[in-house]
């Protein structure tokens, strides 16, 4: 019986793609870390799963580069959480990464569609 494919986890996501995905989610609205994980799963129709152990180092890295800004706010549940939002530099980086991703997808499609 063929094994049903499982959704890719963070270890299987192409190098650098996690940063682009985080930037995109934060571009939608200010959001806390767990919300990023949930929103990414929701938008990807449960195809992408990011472990918090990969998410938070990426958030700190993106914040350190000046692409995200974090502020403490109270969640709907009444707890304090760090909310991340995209900075102008982050928006520029996201556009560059999206353009690079589109070029990569086009190149891969050319190879996959090549006549045998």
Residue-range domain boundaries for the chain: 10-111
In three-state form (DSSP H/G/I as H, E/B as E, the rest C), the secondary structure along the chain is CCCCCCCCEHHHCCCCHHHHHHHHHHHHCCEEHHHHHHHHHHHCCCCCECCHHHHHHHHHHHHHCCCEEEEEEECCCCCEEEEEEECHHHHHHHHHHHHHHHHHHHHHHHHHCCCC
Assess if CATH 1.10.10.10 describes domain 10-111.
yes
| pLDDT bracket for residue 51 (50, 70, 90) | confident
**In this predicted model, what pLDDT tens digit does every residue of 9-20 receive, in sequence order?**
544 566 579 999
pLDDT over 70 (residue 2): no
Average pLDDT in the 67-71 region?
97
């Amino acid at each position: 019986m063929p094994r049903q494919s499982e959704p890719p986890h963070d270890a299987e996501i192409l190098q650098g793609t996690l940063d682009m995905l985080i930037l995109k989610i934060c571009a939608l609205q200010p959001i806390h870390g767990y919300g990023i994980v949930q929103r990414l799963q929701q938008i990807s129709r449960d195809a992408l799963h990011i472990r918090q152990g990969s998410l938070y180092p990426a958030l700190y890295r993106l914040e350190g580069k000046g692409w995200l800004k974090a502020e403490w706010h109270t969640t709907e549940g009444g707890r304090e959480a760090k909310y991340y939002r995209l900075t102008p530099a982050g928006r520029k980086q996201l556009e560059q990464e999206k353009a690079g991703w589109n070029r990569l997808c086009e190149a891969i499609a050319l190879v996959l569609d090549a006549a045998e």
